[in-house]
Structure 1
C-alpha cells in the first residue's frame, strides 16, 4: 500500500512538472512584463511625497523607458512576441534578442547605481519635473498605438 502511494505521488509530481514547466524555446515578450507603471501621478501628488519616494519613482520610470523605447517600432506594451510579427524564431534571432535583454539589464544596473548615488543631490522640484516628463513619454507611447 505504501509503495502505491509513493508511486502515485511520483507520477503526479512528474506530470505536474511537465505540465507547468516553461520551455526555454518558448517565445518571450519583446517588452519585459516588468516594464509597467502601476500609477501615474500629478504634480500635486508628487510634491507631497518625500524625496526618497521621488528618487524611487524616478529610477523606476527610467527603467521602464529603457525596457520600452528600443522596441517602439514593434510594440509599446508587454506581451507581444517576435513570432507575432512574423520574425522567425530561430537560434540567430533568439540569440540577438537574448543579447539585447542582457545589455538592457546591464545598462539598467549601471544606471540605477549611478542614479541612486547622484540623484539625492538634485532639487526636489527638479525630481518632480523629471518624473512628470518620464510619465508624459510613457503616456505618449500608449497613444502611439492609436496613430
Structure 2
C-alpha cells in the first residue's frame, strides 16, 4: 500500500512539475500563411477563363495580400521574427503580434465569406481588372527593397 501511495505521489509531482515548466515556443513571424501565388496572368488568358476560375484566382490574391501588406514595414518575406529586426521579444510585444495575427485571420475569414456570397454577381471584366491589379501589386513586392535608403 505504501508503495502504491509513493508511486501516486511521485507521479503527481512529475505531472505537476511538467505542467508548471514553461514551454519555449517558437518565435512568431510577422508574415505567415500563403505568401505567393502560383502564376501571374495576362489579360487575354483571363478573358478565356470561366468565371468560377476567376473567382478562385481573385480570392487567392486577396489571401496573399492580406498576409503580406499589413506587415510590409516589418518584413516582405515569411519567417521574419521580432528579434530578427531588433524588436524586443517581450510579453507585451508578443501579445500584440498574436492579437494582430488573430485580427488578420478574422478579417480574412469574414472577407472570404462575403466574397463567396457576393463576388459571383460581379462583372467579369471588373473581376479580371481586379485580378490584374492585385497581381501587379504582388509583383511590386519584388522591388520593395529598391525604395529603402541605406
TM-score (norm 1): 0.79
Residue 146 (structure 2) pairs with residue 146 (structure 1): yes
- Runs of 5+ in structure 1 lacking a partner? 1-22
Q: How far did 1:73 drift?
A: 1.0
Residue 112 (structure 2) pairs with residue 100 (structure 1): no
For the 8 Å contact 2:28–2:94, the answer to whether it is kept is: no
Runs of 4+ residues deviating >3 angstroms: none
Q: How far did 1:29 drift?
A: 2.0
Task: Name the residue aligned to 1:20.
Answer: none
Tell me how far apart the structure 1 counterparts of residues 56 and 33 of structure 2 sit (CA, whole Å): 19
Residue 83 (structure 2) pairs with residue 112 (structure 1): no
TM-score (norm 2): 0.78
From the superposition, tell whether residues 105 and 124 of structure 1 become closer, same or farther in structure 2 (CA, over 3 Å): same
Tell me how far apart the structure 2 counterparts of residues 46 and 82 of structure 1 sit (CA, whole Å): 39
- Runs of 5+ in structure 2 lacking a partner? 1-22
Q: How far did 1:43 drift?
A: 0.9
Task: Name the residue aligned to 1:90.
Answer: 90
Q: Which has the larger radius of gyration?
A: 2
How many residue pairs end up in the alignment?
Answer: 125
Residue 51 (structure 2) pairs with residue 30 (structure 1): no
For the 8 Å contact 1:33–1:79, the answer to whether it is kept is: no
Q: How far did 1:79 drift?
A: 2.3
| Aligned CA-pair RMSD | 1.4
For the 8 Å contact 1:58–1:131, the answer to whether it is kept is: yes
For the 8 Å contact 1:46–1:128, the answer to whether it is kept is: yes
Q: How far did 1:95 drift?
A: 0.7
